Amino acid sequence: VFEDVAPGTLGVPTKLTDIPWPRTVEKSSLDCIWDASDCKNLKPIVRGGETAAMEQLERKMKMANWVASFEKPKTSCTTVGDNMSTTVLSPYMSLGCLSPRMFWWKVSDAYKRASVSPSKPPVSLHGQLLWRDFNNLMAHCANQETPGSWGKMKGNKYCRDIPWGNDEKLLKAWKGGQTGYPWIDACMAQLRNEGWIHHLGRHAVACFLTRGDLWQHW
Enumerate the known binding-site residues for FAD.
86-90
DSSP state for residue 148 in the 8-state scheme: T
Residues annotated as binding site? 86-90
Residue 213, SS3?
Answer: coil
What's the rounded Cα separation, in Å, for the pair 53 and 10?
A: 17
Partners of 216 in the beta sheet? 165
Q: CB–CB of 131/138 below 8 Å?
A: no
Partners of 165 in the beta sheet? 216
Per 3-state DSSP, the chain is made up of helix, strand and coil in percentages (nearest 5) of 50, 0, 50
Enumerate residues 6+ apart whose C-beta is below 8 A from 1. Answer: 130
Q: Which amino acid is at 188?
A: M
